[in-house]
Each structure stands twice: as C-alpha cells, then as structure tokens.
Amino acid sequence: MADPKIAAKFPAVLELKPGTYHYCACGESKNQPFCDGSHKGTAFTPMAFELETEKKVAVCQCKHSGKAPFCDGTHKKL
C-alpha cells in the first residue's frame, strides 16, 4: 500500500460536537482533517469515528499516527 500524503506536520485542534465524522486517511482531502472523497481510485478509505459528547480533540494531519484519527505526536519524527 502506498504511503498517505502528509497534509500537515501538526494536528488540527478542534472543538467537535457529538456526531459521526469521517477522517481523511489519504491526505489528499481539501477539507482536512476530514474526508472529501479525494481517496476515490486509491487504496485508502476514510476512517469513521464518533463522539458522544462535545469535545476538544487533536486530529492527526500527518496521517502516520498510531492512534488515528487522533494525534500521538508522530508528526514530530517526520
């Protein structure tokens, strides 16, 4: 499988409302860190995640986090 494109070497820190979100795994979305369908025709698929309460989160944009969709600091080593 090809490596994803690094969208940014820092997380997107967001205050998200309860709901289901679709994390961009390919790095090509113009709506980072969320999927906009740019993965079509590739081996990548978006990762759905759900929040039950409003929450401030750090969403990975380097696409190499071991805790995707959330940042684990891996971007500091890229």
Kindly report the pTM of this predicted structure: 0.93
pLDDT grade for 2, boundaries at 50, 70 and 90 = confident
Distance, CA of 10 to CA of 38 (rounded, Å): 21
- Asked if residue 7 is part of any domain, the answer here is no
pLDDT of residue 35: 98
Inside any domain, residue 6: no
Q: Is 28 part of a structural domain of the chain?
A: yes
| Domains in the chain, number | 1
And the tokens for 41? 């025709």
- Residue 42: give the domain boundaries: 12-77
Tell me if 54 is assigned to some domain.
Answer: yes
The string of pLDDT tens digits covering residues 7-66 is 999 999 999 999 999 999 999 999 999 999 999 999 999 999 999 999 999 999 999 999
Task: Look at residue 4 and tell me if it is in a domain.
Answer: no
Q: Is residue 36 part of a domain?
A: yes
